[in-house]
Chain A
Amino acid sequence: MKFSDKAEDLSAFTGPSSAVTIGVFDGVHLGHRKVISRLIRTRREIGLSSAVLVTFDRHPLSVTHPDKAPPLLTTLEEKKGILREFDLDVVVIDRFNPGYAALNYTEFIREKLLGRLNMSHLVVGYDFRFGKDRTGSLEMIREQGMRSSFEVTVVPPAYVGGQIVSSTRIREQLLRGDTEMASERLTRDYFFDAEVVRGESIGRQISFPTANLVVKESSKLIPRSGVYAVMVETEGGRYGGMMNIGTAPTIKNTGGIEVHIFDFSGDLYGSTIRVYCRKNLREEKKFASRDQLREQLETDARRARRVLAMPGR
Chain B
Amino acid sequence: MNLYHKLNNKVIPVNKEKGITTFDAIRKLKRELGGGKIGHAGSLDPIATGLILILTGIATKLSGYLMDLPKVYISDIKLGEATDTQDASGEVIERGDWEKISTGDIEGVLPRFTGKRMQMPPMYSALKHGGKPLYKLARKGKKVDRKAREVHTESIELLSADLPLFRIRVKCSRGLYLRTLSEEIGRSLGVPSHMTGLTRVSVGHFDIEEAISSGEFDRLKDKEDPGINPAEALRHLKQVVMSGPQAADLLNGRAPTVPVDTEVSVGELVRFLRPDGSLGGIGEIGPGRIARIRRVLIYE
Chain B proximity of A272: nearest CB distance (Å): 34
Chain A residues with CB below 8 A from B276, complex form: 15, 43, 47-50
Q: A15-B275, A15-B276, A17-B275 are in contact. Are A46 and B251 (CB under 8 A)?
A: yes
Which chain B residue has the least Cβ–Cβ distance from A119?
A: B244
Q: 1/0 per position for B267-300, CB-CB distance to A under 8 A? A: 0000000111110100000000000000000110
For the complex, what is the distance from the CA of A151 to the CA of B249, rounded to whole Å? 11
Give the interface centre of A17, A48, A121 by most chain B CB atoms within 10 Å.
A17
For the complex, what is the distance from the CA of A127 to the CA of B34, rounded to whole Å? 44
For the complex, what is the distance from the CA of A236 to the CA of B245, rounded to whole Å? 50
Q: A15-B275, A15-B276, A120-B275 are in contact. Are A46 and B243 (CB under 8 A)?
A: no
Q: 1/0 per position for B241-265, CB-CB distance to A under 8 A? A: 0011101100100000000000000
Chain A residues with CB below 8 A from B277, complex form: 49
Which chain A residue has the least Cβ–Cβ distance from B298?
A: A45
- Asked whether B278 lies within 8 Å of A151 as measured between CB atoms, the reply is no
A16 within 8 A of B: yes
The one of B243, B245, B275, B299 in contact with A45, judged by C-beta atoms closer than 8 angstroms, is: B299
A201 within 8 A of B: no
Chain A residues with CB below 8 A from B243, complex form: 16-17, 120, 149
Chain A residues with CB below 8 A from B298, complex form: 45
- Asked whether A150 lies within 8 Å of B244 as measured between CB atoms, the reply is yes
Number of interface residues of B (CB under 8 A): 14
- Asked whether B299 lies within 8 Å of A47 as measured between CB atoms, the reply is yes
A290 within 8 A of B: no
Chain B residues with CB below 8 A from A17, complex form: 243-244, 247, 275
Which chain B residue has the least Cβ–Cβ distance from A43?
A: B276
Chain A residues with CB below 8 A from B278, complex form: 47
Chain B residues with CB below 8 A from A43, complex form: 276
Chain B residues with CB below 8 A from A151, complex form: 244-245, 248
Chain B residues with CB below 8 A from A216, complex form: none
Chain B residues with CB below 8 A from A46, complex form: 244, 247-248, 251, 274-275
Within 8 A of B (CB), among A209-233: none
Chain A residues with CB below 8 A from B245, complex form: 120, 149-151
Chain B residues with CB below 8 A from A150, complex form: 244-245
- Asked whether A48 lies within 8 Å of B275 as measured between CB atoms, the reply is yes
Chain B residues with CB below 8 A from A120, complex form: 243-245, 275
Within 8 A of B (CB), among A1-54: 15-19, 43-50
- Asked whether B251 lies within 8 Å of A45 as measured between CB atoms, the reply is yes
For the complex, what is the distance from the CA of A48 to the CA of B245, rounded to whole Å? 9
- Asked whether B244 lies within 8 Å of A121 as measured between CB atoms, the reply is yes
For the complex, what is the distance from the CA of A44 to the CA of B274, rounded to whole Å? 10
For the complex, what is the distance from the CA of A149 to the CA of B249, rounded to whole Å? 12
Within 8 A of B (CB), among A114-161: 120-121, 149-151
For the complex, what is the distance from the CA of A43 to the CA of B276, rounded to whole Å? 9
Chain A residues with CB below 8 A from B274, complex form: 46-48
Chain B residues with CB below 8 A from A48, complex form: 244, 247, 274-276
The one of B248, B251, B299 in contact with A121, judged by C-beta atoms closer than 8 angstroms, is: B248
For the complex, what is the distance from the CA of A50 to the CA of B247, rounded to whole Å? 14
Which chain B residue has the least Cβ–Cβ distance from A44?
A: B299
Which chain A residue has the least Cβ–Cβ distance from B273?
A: A47
Give the interface centre of B274, B278, B298 by most chain A CB atoms within 10 Å.
B274
Which chain A residue has the least Cβ–Cβ distance from B231?
A: A47
21 contacts between A and B (CB under 8 A): A16-B243, A16-B275, A17-B243, A18-B244, A44-B299, A45-B251, A45-B299, A46-B248, A47-B247, A47-B274, A47-B275, A47-B299, A48-B244, A48-B247, A48-B275, A48-B276, A49-B244, A120-B243, A120-B275, A121-B244, A121-B248
5 closest cross-chain pairs (CB), A and B = A120-B244, A47-B274, A17-B244, A17-B275, A49-B275
Known: A17-B244, A49-B244, A49-B276. 18 other contacts (CB 8 A): A16-B243, A17-B243, A17-B247, A17-B275, A18-B244, A45-B298, A45-B299, A46-B274, A46-B275, A47-B275, A47-B276, A47-B278, A48-B247, A48-B275, A120-B243, A150-B245, A151-B245, A151-B248
